[in-house]
Amino acid sequence: MKFFQKEIILPRFRRGFHLVTDHIVGEFIEMKQIEMGILHILIKHTSAGLSINENADPTVRHDMETHFNKMVPENVDYFRHNYEGSDDMPAHIKTAIVGSHLSIPITKGRLNLGTWQGIYLCEFRNFGVNRHLVLSAYGS
Amino acid sequence: MKFFQKEIILPRFRRGFHLVTDHIVGEFIEMKQIEMGILHILIKHTSAGLSINENADPTVRHDMETHFNKMVPENVDYFRHNYEGSDDMPAHIKTAIVGSHLSIPITKGRLNLGTWQGIYLCEFRNFGVNRHLVLSAYGS
Amino acid sequence: MKFFQKEIILPRFRRGFHLVTDHIVGEFIEMKQIEMGILHILIKHTSAGLSINENADPTVRHDMETHFNKMVPENVDYFRHNYEGSDDMPAHIKTAIVGSHLSIPITKGRLNLGTWQGIYLCEFRNFGVNRHLVLSAYGS
């Protein structure tokens, strides 16, 4: 069994859903040494999440943003935690919905995703900072 | 450490939430060789998801479907991505909510789930296709 | 590669979102033997979930509870599964939204979370029972 671990910093993204598959794969070349294994990704933040979704048509990412804003609206009177702006508490809730970590099978040194799947960074703050990820890859 | 990996194809299911625990366990007998480990499951699609929930009463699966349709409605004017029908974009969003992968402890060759837990295939398309899963099991 | 597995029982919590990081880390000292690895946590119940979110300000946990109750309301006429009360079916749905398992990198024997991240037990029942967790830790 092999085990690799690495921390990387993503470039800043504006609020919305963004494809970061190539960025992650490009930064973690150790993964290629794994014949059969798992890639695990944690985002070390509570106002941005990770998801797997459609990797081709940008309208999917656009509609995802629109709907998450309906499902978790800003400026509702019942939020107490809004010190950092109207996007503060909604960002925490959206993160709880999509989740903070992913795990994806590795087969012959490559991510074994479906044809249409990509890794999304879900940036829920109006002014996103650089997001830190912990990448772990393990297997035979 | 042992590591097994296998791709399987589920039978077609109609739109809704469906128990597939027995199907997965039955197709992946290598898992029995693991004394203490993890089963990882990825669904290679972006319009169907995986979840762990109640394994007994069918009304749970029924109500789950009803509520997800309220939480992510079809035919709203703000969706742009509807080329494949009114269920297209909602299927992507519901997948982001439940997630595309599961991991479950293995103890003495068996899934170590709670008494009432089962694995759900969440089929979000009106006409679901055969869904492909990557199964990985590893441990001592 | 090392692999440790253990079942623990959390103290009872009232309905809401609760920080349990210290409880989990304190009960699973075997984790300290892992230089580089993963901690996996499964909750063996379908009416309580696990999440990673903000570990400092209690208003985040308060607003999380308020918003989940808006997003998944009780006493709506379309729920059939309400044998155990109005919180019964909403608890299953909320569990599907946040998820039943977490995985977190271990680095030098410690959880490698962000500064503001903690592990939440999401108790969705009015009268929560003792919740059972399966903890697995593995790595080099």
Interatomic CA distance for residues B52 and B17, integer angstroms: 11
Tell me how far the alpha carbon of residue B125 is from its chain's centroid.
13
pLDDT in tens, A41-96: 999 999 999 999 999 999 999 999 999 999 999 999 999 998 899 999 999 999 99
Q: Do B105 and C42 touch (CB under 8 A)?
A: yes
Nearest-angstrom CA–CA distance, C125 and C89:
10
Instruction: Report d(CA C105, CA A34) in Å as an integer.
Output: 18
**pLDDT at residue C65 is higher than 90:** yes
CA distances to A53, A94, B102, C46 from A50, in Å:
10, 10, 15, 23
Using a CB–CB cutoff of 8 Å, tell me whether C53 touches chain A.
yes
Nearest to C45 among B38, B67, B114 (CB): B114
Q: Is A111 in the B-facing interface, judged by CB distances under 8 Å?
A: no
* Chain C interface includes A19 (CB < 8 A): no
Strands (E), chain B: 2-9, 16-19, 36-43, 48-54, 101-107, 110-111, 117-123, 132-139
> Min CA distance, A44 vs chain B (Å)?
19
- Cβ-based contacts of A66 with chain B (< 8 Å): 78-79
Would the CB atoms of C46 and B117 count as touching at under 8 Å? yes
Distance from CA of A80 to the nearest CA of B (A): 23
**Closest-CA distance of chain B to residue C120, Å:** 18
Q: In this predicted model, what pLDDT tens digit does every residue of A115-137 receive, in sequence order?
A: 999 999 999 999 989 999 999 99
Output the pLDDT for position A5. Answer: 98
Is the pLDDT at C19 greater than 90, yes or no?
yes
Chain A: partners with 3+ C-beta pairs within 8 Å: B, C
pLDDT in tens, A4-27: 999 999 999 999 999 999 999 999
8 Å CB contact of B117 and C44: yes
Query: In which residue are the tokens 């398309």 written?
Result: B125
Residue B83 — very low, low, confident or very high, per pLDDT cuts 50/70/90?
Answer: confident
Query: C37-46 burial by CB neighbour count: b if 16+ within 10 A, else e?
Result: bbbbbbbbbb
The interface predicted TM-score (ipTM) is 0.97
Q: How far apart are CA B48 and CA B108, in angstroms?
A: 30
Average pLDDT of the residues of chain B: 97
C-alpha distances out from residue B139 to A138, B38, B136, C65, Å: 12, 6, 10, 36
- Using DSSP's 3-state secondary structure scheme, residue A116 falls into coil
Task: Note the pLDDT of residue B15.
Answer: 98
Q: Calculate how close chain C gets to B20, using CA atoms only, in Å.
A: 16
